[in-house]
Amino acid sequence: MSWETVIGLEVHVQVNTRSKAFCGCATDFGAEPNSQTCPVCLGMPGQLPVLNKEAVDKTVLTGLAIDATINLESRFDRKNYFYPDLPKGYQISQFAIPVVERGHLDIPTPDGEKRIGITRIHMEEDAGKSLHEGLDGVSHIDLNRSGVPLMEIVSEPDMRSADEAVAYLKQLHQLVRFLGVSDADMEKGQFRCDANVSVRRAGEPFGTRVELKNLNSFRFIKQAIEYEAARQVECIEDGGEIVQETRLFDSAKGESRPMRSKEEAHDYRYFPDPDLPPLRLSQSEVEAIRDGMPELPGQMRRRFEDEYGLSPYDADVLSTTRELAGYYEALVGAHASDPKRCANWLANELLGRLKERGIDISESVVTPQLLAGLLDRIADNTVSGKLAKDVLDAMLDSGRDADAVIDEKGMRQVTDTGAIDAVIREVMAANEAQVAEYRAGKDRLLGFFVGQVMKASRGKANPELVNARLRELLKA
């Protein structure tokens, strides 16, 4: 019997609110250590939390987007443990009654869409950061992150391979960015994943699970899950038993090591936080949040196919992020005649160039209006598609519009028959032998002549005109 991997994921998503979950401090990344703190997020005596409404709304929005139940009354609990970057000695979280329960997310798999259950989404506050390295044996604590709002999104154990887990995470990552509830920058720790992994032979009940921590890129997640599943299978096949434990994945070594056993697991002594009354939402508040729901990636993908006639592939690429989709729609708005040309130039030409330059679409100097200007010049034959790529390079370098670049570089396409005829005659004069062969019936030499003419015109001659005039003049 073959082995099956069973995976459930817990994802911590930083909610991109302007201020922290329970105080007014800013949440900007990378600020001077401890500069974004106040007595509340420093856990000073007598200080009290006040819930950030924006964090609630964004968590509810996420819940609605995964078709979940929104609990109109939820509760905040204290999760008690000691750590130097946890100033109060407890984390405010939601344990018994989270704000969101029972949703799902559909993910693409080679066998078609698969529905992954989402058990719950609860709100909590982040801890600070302990810095141990490069400080001569002294640990420093940065509490800028202390109190930053998080959503913990807990899935059902519905995934059966590392690839499915990655597909789920990518789908979730895309969703929260689309919803505008998180920047979800993994390098900044805004989208962090723990995985619960077990193995079983098909048809058997779930095996003992092991929690993997510190999975901070899609690549590591895949590696870590595959490593762990293989480790468990090997262990069982060798007659061993899986122990319930938490393991830390070491991305440098590509392996995991035990962090703490079940016996060493914390007793968090959860109890309702007496500083915070239950979070009560009205149905009308929930509906108002639902009304503000943006178009979701799946809906947008289908609309791009239907409305603009895009291929499923292009529609998928262009709906990856809200910024990219927004760019595309602005481009189509400015160059409505040919949505497919818009898609090709954006997906195949502009994005690749931006990626090489390490620039995000939202920061592209070639705005949708500027790119539309270039596409207009292709449409009216001012430049050939081939030359237009050079024009785009120059536009990215200079930030100037297509016409300016075309004029400056003399790239305007030659459509004057007389001028083209003159070039053709020069080429014919220089290649008399080939002219003779062509006229003797060797038709495939036409391509040779086209190439020579285009070369002589430095690419500016309109290729269709060149074709037509060559056939005419070579006939004689």
Partner 1 sequence: MMPFTPLHAWKDQLDSGAVSAADVARLYLDRIGAYNDRLNAFVHLDAAHVLDQAAASDSHRAKHGPRPLEGLPIAIKDIFCTQDGPTQCCSPILKGFHAPYDAHVITLLKQAGAVLVGKTNMDEFAMGSSNETSMFGPARNPWDEACTPGGSSGGSASAVAAALAPAALGTDTGGSIRQPAALTGIVGMKPTYGRVSRRGIVAFASSLDQAGPMTACVRDAAMLAAAISGHDPMDATSVAGAPAVDWLAACDRRDMKGLRIGRPREYFVDGMHPGVRAAIDAALAECEKLGATIVDISLPHTEYAVAAYYVIAPSEASANLARYDGVRFGHRSENPADLFDLYTRSRDEGFGAEVKRRILTGTFALSSGYYDAYYRKAQQVRTLIRQDFLTAFETVDVIATPTSPVPAFRLGEKTDDPLTMYLSDIFTIALNLAGLPGLSQPCGFADDLPVGLQWIAPAWREDALLSAAAAFEAATDWHAKRPEGWA
Nearest-approach distance from CB 124 to partner 1, in angstroms: 15
User: Is residue 295 within 8 Å of residue 302, measured between CB atoms?
Assistant: no
Give the one residue of 269, 302, 425, 471 binding partner 1; rule: CB under 8 A: 269
Q: Which residues contact 66 (CB under 8 A, 6 or more apart)?
A: 100, 103, 104, 105, 118, 121, 175
Integer Cα distance of 461 and 354 in angstroms: 29
For partner 1, the closer of residues 90 and 168 by Cβ is: 90
Task: Find tokens 């595309």 and name the residue.
Answer: 328
Q: What residues does 8 pair with on adjacent strands?
A: 196
Q: Which residues contact 170 (CB under 8 A, 6 or more apart)?
A: 218
For partner 1, the closer of residues 57 and 314 by Cβ is: 57
- Residue 182 to residues 174, 177, 185, Cα–Cα distance (Å): 10, 6, 8
For partner 1, the closer of residues 6 and 86 by Cβ is: 86
Give the one residue of 204, 275, 360, 397 binding partner 1; rule: CB under 8 A: 275
Nearest-approach distance from CB 277 to partner 1, in angstroms: 6
Length of the chain: 476
For partner 1, the closer of residues 221 and 279 by Cβ is: 279
The alpha carbon dihedral of 338, 344, 347, 351 has a sign of negative
Integer Cα distance of 314 and 305 in angstroms: 9
Give the one residue of 12, 26, 80, 171 binding partner 1; rule: CB under 8 A: 80
Give the one residue of 18, 28, 271, 307 binding partner 1; rule: CB under 8 A: 271
For partner 1, the closer of residues 42 and 419 by Cβ is: 42
Kind of pairing between the strands at 3-14 and 90-93: unpaired
Count the site residues for partner 1 by CB under 8 A.
28
For partner 1, the closer of residues 277 and 447 by Cβ is: 277
Give the one residue of 277, 292, 309, 312 binding partner 1; rule: CB under 8 A: 277
Nearest-approach distance from CB 274 to partner 1, in angstroms: 4
Secondary structure of residue 287 in the 3-state scheme: helix
Segment contacting partner 1 by CB under 8 A, of 53-61, 84-92, 191-199, 223-231: 84-92
The alpha carbon dihedral of 70, 74, 79, 84 has a sign of positive
For partner 1, the closer of residues 40 and 411 by Cβ is: 40
Nearest-approach distance from CB 206 to partner 1, in angstroms: 22
Q: Is position 278 an interface residue for partner 1 (rule: CB under 8 A)?
A: no
Site track for partner 1 across 39-78, x = CB under 8 A = x--xxxxxxxxxx--------------------------x
For partner 1, the closer of residues 44 and 230 by Cβ is: 44
Integer Cα distance of 330 and 476 in angstroms: 50
Integer Cα distance of 295 and 299 in angstroms: 6
| Three-state SS letters, 352-385 | HHHHHHCCCHHHCCCCHHHHHHHHHHHHCCCCCH
Nearest-approach distance from CB 275 to partner 1, in angstroms: 5
Secondary structure of residue 264 in the 3-state scheme: coil
User: Is residue 270 within 8 Å of residue 77, measured between CB atoms?
Assistant: yes
Structural tokens at position 268: 């968090």
| CB burial of residue 286 (10 Å; 0-12, 13-18, 19+) | middle
Q: Is position 274 an interface residue for partner 1 (rule: CB under 8 A)?
A: yes
Q: Is position 88 an interface residue for partner 1 (rule: CB under 8 A)?
A: yes
Nearest-approach distance from CB 182 to partner 1, in angstroms: 25
Give the one residue of 73, 84, 230, 468 binding partner 1; rule: CB under 8 A: 84
Segment contacting partner 1 by CB under 8 A, of 38-46, 380-388, 437-445, 468-476: 38-46
Q: Which residues contact 201 (CB under 8 A, 6 or more apart)?
A: 1, 2, 3, 4
For partner 1, the closer of residues 88 and 192 by Cβ is: 88
Residues 93-132 that bind partner 1 (CB under 8 A): none
Integer Cα distance of 118 and 157 in angstroms: 9
Tell me the backbone φ, ψ of residue 211, rounded to 5 degrees: -95, 130
The DSSP line for 399-444 is ---HHHHHHHTT-PPB--HHHHHHHHHHHHHHTHHHHHHHHTT-TT
Q: Is position 206 an interface residue for partner 1 (rule: CB under 8 A)?
A: no
Site track for partner 1 across 133-172, x = CB under 8 A = --------x-------------------------------
Secondary structure of residue 71 in the 3-state scheme: coil
For partner 1, the closer of residues 96 and 430 by Cβ is: 96
Q: Is position 33 an interface residue for partner 1 (rule: CB under 8 A)?
A: no
Give the one residue of 8, 63, 87, 149 binding partner 1; rule: CB under 8 A: 87
For partner 1, the closer of residues 237 and 267 by Cβ is: 267
Give the one residue of 15, 90, 158, 405 binding partner 1; rule: CB under 8 A: 90
**Which residues are at the interface with partner 1 (CB under 8 A)?**
39, 42-51, 78, 80, 82, 84, 87-90, 141, 267, 269-271, 274-277
